[in-house]
Amino acid sequence: MFQRGTKVAVDSMQVGTTEVEQGVVLAPEAGNFVKEIVDGSFPANVPGAGPVLTTASKGPFIPNG
């Protein structure tokens, strides 16, 4: 009984470790996208991305967002 519980715990930790490793790989890419959005250089041809307009006084405006 204890061995089964230990195996489940170890398996869960391994899954968690894999997910963290994937997050570490994706984090810089996400940071780059945020920087592009802030800088206004977000590519217009990204599927599913709606238009983003900016105004000097009000910041970003996302129509239908």
pLDDT digits (tens, 9 = 90+) for 30-63: 998 888 888 876 555 556 655 555 555 555 556 6
Nearest 5 degrees, angle CA 36-CA 40-CA 43?
65
User: How many domains are contained in the chain?
Assistant: 1
Distance CA 35, CA 39 (A): 6
- pLDDT, residue 9, reads 93
Helix (H) or strand (E) holding 60: strand 59-61
What is the per-residue pLDDT for 36?
84
- Enter the pTM of the model: 0.45
pLDDT reading at 27 higher than 70: yes
Range of the domain at 46: 2-61
Contact present, 61 and 55 (Cβ < 8 Å): yes
